């Protein structure tokens, strides 16, 4: 704490023995601080204390109704959200979680800095769909439902925090700059019927500041407007916050089921059925 560059900062520390309460180290414990992301350490520590380091999040898929001998489900298929942050494409081949130093979650706050993970964004959803197919279910004469009732709805800074999380409930917009004055190339992920993208982004001279906005003026369509400099990081990443994570996850799951040979009579798009 006394060495550069940390000596210019403000430090508040208290370390205590959990069993005896004895304070082992303390510094500025009565000072007030803007905790910022430091607060996450308390949440993670509490979770580890309650759940243990060996805890694994499971996302059950269950069904109502009956399954005929030929695999026809007459009822609903339900995915039960469990708060699994790794349901998307963060699990590397080694089994470790792939978390870049500057993730897509902060892409809009600091434009041009975000790095994307390389794993399949829908790996978790695809695996669940594969397991449903392996169970023998084929056509579903019913609906697909996302059970998001693990906790009451909550929004932090306009961001819905939900028990079901697919790609952090974001659509990644990937912009590749071209020659100054020419349109930039725009792509997005994950590709799903839940959203289409209407993009008009131009390339500005190298060294200029990026200015990109993502919004939805029509349900299901993301409008991307603005400009990126010719020397911007390729791809330049911006994101769109999915407003209804349950409906988004439902569409993505129905599409994954179809890729595994399971048809659903209910439409892919629309609201998530009420529980």
- Which pairing describes strands 185-189 and 170-176: parallel, antiparallel, or unpaired? antiparallel
Other C-beta atoms closer than 10 Å to the C-beta of 77 total: 24
Q: What is the pLDDT along the chain (275 residues), one digit of tens a residue?
A: 889 888 888 889 999 998 999 999 999 999 998 877 888 888 999 999 999 999 989 999 999 999 999 999 999 999 999 999 888 778 888 888 888 888 898 899 899 999 888 889 999 999 999 999 999 999 999 999 999 999 998 998 888 999 999 999 999 999 999 999 999 999 999 999 999 999 999 999 999 999 999 999 899 999 999 999 999 988 999 999 999 999 999 999 999 999 999 999 999 999 999 87
What is the b/e burial string over 41-64, where b = at least 16 CB atoms within 10 angstroms of the residue's CB?
A: eeeeeeeeeeeeeeeeeebebebe
> What is the Cα–Cα distance from 13 to 41, expressed in whole angstroms?
13
Q: Are strands 144-147 and 77-80 parallel, antiparallel or unpaired?
A: parallel
Provide the 3-class DSSP secondary structure of residue 164: coil
At a CB cut-off of 8 Å and minimum separation 6, what does 263 contact? 138, 139, 140, 257
What's the CA gap between 209 and 232, in Å, rounded?
A: 9
């Amino acid at each position: 704490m006394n060495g550069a560059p940390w000596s210019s900062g403000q430090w508040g520390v208290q370390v205590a023995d959990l069993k005896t309460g004895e304070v082992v180290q303390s510094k500025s414990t009565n000072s007030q601080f803007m905790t910022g992301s430091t607060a996450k350490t308390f949440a993670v520590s509490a979770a580890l204390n309650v759940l243990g380091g060996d805890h694994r999040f499971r996302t059950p898929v269950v069904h109502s109704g009956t399954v005929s001998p030929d695999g026809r489900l007459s009822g609903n298929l339900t995915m039960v959200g469990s708060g699994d942050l790794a349901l998307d494409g963060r699990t590397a081949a080694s089994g470790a979680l792939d978390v870049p130093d500057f993730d897509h979650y902060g892409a809009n706050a600091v434009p041009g800095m975000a790095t994307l993970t390389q794993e399949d964004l829908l790996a978790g959803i695809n695996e669940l769909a594969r397991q449903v197919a392996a169970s023998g279910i084929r056509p579903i004469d019913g609906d697909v439902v996302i059970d998001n009732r693990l906790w009451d709805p909550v929004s932090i800074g306009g961001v819905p925090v939900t028990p079901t999380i697919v790609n952090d409930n974001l659509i990644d917009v990937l912009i590749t700059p071209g020659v100054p004055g020419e349109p930039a190339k725009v792509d997005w992920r994950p590709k799903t019927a839940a959203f289409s993208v209407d993009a008009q982004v131009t390339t500005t001279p190298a060294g200029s500041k990026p200015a990109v906005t993502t919004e939805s003026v029509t349900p299901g369509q993301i409008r991307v407007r603005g400009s990126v400099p010719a020397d911007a990081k390729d791809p330049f990443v911006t994101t769109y916050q999915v407003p209804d994570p349950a409906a988004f996850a439902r569409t993505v799951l129905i599409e994954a089921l179809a890729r595994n040979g399971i048809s659903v009579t209910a439409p892919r798009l629309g609201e998530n059925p009420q529980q």
